[in-house]
Structure 1
């Protein structure tokens, strides 16, 4: 499989603090990639550099061999949800999803079919809600944001702590949804999570960050959860 993401000599420094320091990181097409680490490990910083929300101090991160800070083609194939700032809070859920569809040249006549796989995850009540997004619970905002990132079938999906704020039923639905999406589209999926069980259940590969550095790069196996629990019990 070819690489969809390549990071080389990637460093982000704030004053005297180095938030990220990665010599090399490659992520392949079709890979479900997990990012784990304690608070401040650099997970969100890495995703923010990938999405060109912040610029690295040195180094480069590319999607499909093109640096993200020098072109915008990657936006046409990348769906992402990091936090509620990605939403437009004065729209209803469906108005927001229609806005996303228009941004990616989705035919309005295809909306119902594209959203069908997400009915169980979002729920009919939220799908048809007349509330503005700003008035929704945090969990419902997460549902809307993740659905907006996925339903138009991007080749690359980036989700920061997607299981946070979701109830157990929604967490299981999301995990199954992501697995099915990967099998159907062969999209690369990047997920960060504090929940070690979710990340080991979902991901084929897990990278552990500590103080901006890659400490471990693990191919998931039956022993991975125990390995991660032992790692974090010492940290």
Structure 2
């Protein structure tokens, strides 16, 4: 589904990412972990063609993301608040995304019904604009917005941040269910090792822009990751 070949990103004389090869198959829940500055957001930005690579290419479904737009219909993402439209209400924002993805308002309304529990009665049918919501509720809007149209690939950067424990639990269940029932390919970046391990079939660790671990998740994965970040290599 996704192929990364000889990709690098250099700012001035500083190389922030260098990945010779990475392949992510369809339906995989892919967790990306690393310290600040490891290159996680840079990789996601390259995947979404938000920045230009210094070398190499990334393909989604066989399409070079820097040369084609065909992959965009397969891919959705929520990276940060800049993906939101603050002057819209949550409903208006969802309708806007639905229109972009070929969904009418009625189908969006039906789609949103499954997230009643996730929203906890705080998102829909209110008078607040997106910009006036709490950070946690903005995160909920961004995540659900990324799911509209059931894209093949969903990229979420730090999805568990700013969410209360109950919502984190609901989000983990949502990711697992969607991965299994819709064969969605999830790419999830997080500082939370436990949450990421729980929802990912595979964990890749970035350190100073390079892949230093590529692990199929098992009962030992969390301990292995904790040991890595507790050691010198994780500092």
Give the TM-score normalised by structure 2: 0.97
Among 3, 6, 12, the residue aligned to 2:3:
6
**In the TM superposition, what whole-angstrom CA distance separates every residue of 1:75-132 from its partner, at most 9, and x where no partner exists?**
1111100000000110000100000000001132212221122111123231222111
> Does structure 1 residue 206 correspond to structure 2 residue 222?
no
Contact preservation (8 Å) 2:95, 2:104: no
Aligned to 1:163: 160
> Does structure 1 residue 92 correspond to structure 2 residue 89?
yes
Contact preservation (8 Å) 2:8, 2:17: yes
Aligned to 2:111: 114
Aligned to 1:139: 136
Among 69, 72, 77, the residue aligned to 1:72:
69
Where in structure 2 are the equivalents of 1:9-28 lying within 5 Å? 9-28=6-25
How many Å separate the matches in 2 of 1:156 and 1:34?
A: 13
Per-residue deviation, 1:233: 0.2
> Does structure 1 residue 184 correspond to structure 2 residue 181?
yes
SS in 1 for 2:6: strand
How many Å separate the matches in 2 of 1:88 and 1:170?
A: 22
Count of aligned pairs between the two proteins: 232
Aligned to 1:130: 127
> Does structure 1 residue 32 correspond to structure 2 residue 29?
yes
How many Å separate the matches in 1 of 2:126 and 2:29?
A: 32
- Gaps in structure 2 of 5+ consecutive residues: none
How many Å separate the matches in 1 of 2:14 and 2:115?
A: 41
